[in-house]
Amino acid sequence: MKTIRQITILGSTGSIGDSTLDVIARHPDRFQAFALTANHNVEKMLSQCRRFQPRYAVMLNEKSAEQLADAIRADGIKTEILSGIESLEKVASLPEVDAVMAAIVGAAGIRPTFAAARSGKLVLLANKETLVMAGRIFMDLVRENRAALLPIDSEHNAIYQSLPHQFDGDFTTAGVSRILLTASGGPFRCAPIDSLEQVTPEQACAHPNWDMGKKISVDSATMMNKGLEVIEAHWLFDAPADKIQVVVHPQSVIHSMVAYVDGSVIAQLGNPDMRTPIAHAMGYPERIESGVSALDMFKVAQLDFEEPDFNRFPCLRLAYQALTTGGNMPAVLNAANEVAVESFLQRRMPFTAIPIMIENVMRTIKPEDLTSLDDVLRTDSLAREKAHEWLTTLQ
């Protein structure tokens, strides 16, 4: 009899959480939602608890947890309701948990993702910030505790599938020449650069290919999303910055590629649906049905590729700069970007000010090494403080 794998989903009410639950629902004989977590979306969490009956539901926001607990009791559901960051860490590390889908957007996802790795879990990593802010520390933690790590981002999952089996980070032995990280180019790939100052949050969130949350959509529009993925790829695959090339591919059909020294280029293709990489990671090493329709090559018909324009997308340049500098700079980059995106979405500054804020904060904070998660969180706090200070100069 096959054992049912118990899954904790960090960020179940987001788009990755939705897709993960969809895959779980298709394979009730293989997976069970053990714990679901969210920030404050009580209505959606209640709906998920009604359907999946998890052992735990955690709301980061205490008042939201109280509201959810009242609704759960009224429904007679046996799910236990918890709140706070410590509870997120708890449900990511309990002995009953087999795998943790780390899908909380932003720095808030770091501590529970660390807890999962520290407990030796299978970590399905969709939280960019864990590797961007604390890459070396997190990867050391994974190795020390014999945790397993599988990437969920469609690009990194594609690279994982395109690399040799049991790839150990040695490009020379594996015959790998470089990693080709594809990017859609977002909604402003062809827009006149002088028109970007008037971009609205609604326009920035209208991604041409992917259905994503607001923060990730804005990151895609600035191409910071791809910059963060460059940093992730560095840590996941032990790849130097000059071995990671971003390729703009508007159709989003090729999710990424690996070039080899013999001239071969191996790519992973598929429809732009996150259930494909999620199902790949959840079923690994087996292949399981994801609910994604087969790619129709005749409808695709054409695949285009372009070099990224660093003048149009200065955030991508800043991400490469942060990776090359190393130490605390990726964490500074990430924190400043989170404040910048939030400020733009609140209409407190224009779209074109996002990279200006980030670069200002990176210049303000002195580069230094990070040796612990506390160092990372202190850097994050300092960078946010400097970003807010810069914002006041615009008021």
Question: C-alpha dihedral over 141, 255, 212, 91, to 10 degrees?
Answer: -30
Report, as an integer, the average pLDDT of 287-309.
Answer: 95
Whether 211 has a pLDDT exceeding 70, the answer reads no
Residue 71: pLDDT band (50, 70, 90) is very high
**Confidence (pLDDT) at 366:** 97
Distance in angstroms (rounded) separating the CA atoms of residues 139 and 377: 17
- What average pLDDT is seen over the chain? 95
Whether 33 has a pLDDT exceeding 60, the answer reads yes
Identify the helix (H) or strand (E) that includes residue 82.
Answer: strand 80-83
pLDDT tens-digit series, residues 143-201: 999 999 999 999 999 999 999 988 999 999 999 999 999 999 989 999 999 999 999 99
Whether 370 has a pLDDT exceeding 60, the answer reads yes
Residue 155 makes CB contacts below 8 A (sequence gap 6+) with: 181, 182, 229, 233, 255, 256
Domain with CATH 1.10.1740.10 in the chain: 159-272+299-392
Whether 1 has a pLDDT exceeding 60, the answer reads no
pLDDT tens-digit series, residues 100-151: 999 998 778 999 999 999 999 999 999 888 999 999 999 999 999 999 999 9
Q: What is the pTM of this model?
A: 0.92
Whether 2 has a pLDDT exceeding 70, the answer reads no
Domain covering 159-272+299-392, topology: Rna Polymerase Sigma Factor; Chain: A (1.10.1740)
Distance in angstroms (rounded) separating the CA atoms of residues 298 and 292: 17
3-state SS, residue 180: strand
Residue 394: pLDDT band (50, 70, 90) is confident
pLDDT tens-digit series, residues 332-368: 999 999 999 999 999 999 999 999 999 999 999 999 9
3-state SS, residue 170: coil
Domain with CATH 3.40.50.720 in the chain: 5-151
**Confidence (pLDDT) at 128:** 87
CATH class for the region spanning 5-151 = alpha beta
Q: Are 245 and 180 in contact (CB under 8 A)?
A: yes
Pairing of strands 148-151, 122-125: parallel
- Please give the full DSSP string across 303-341, using - where no structure is assigned: ---B---TTT-HHHHHHHHHHHH-TTHHHHHHHHHHHHH
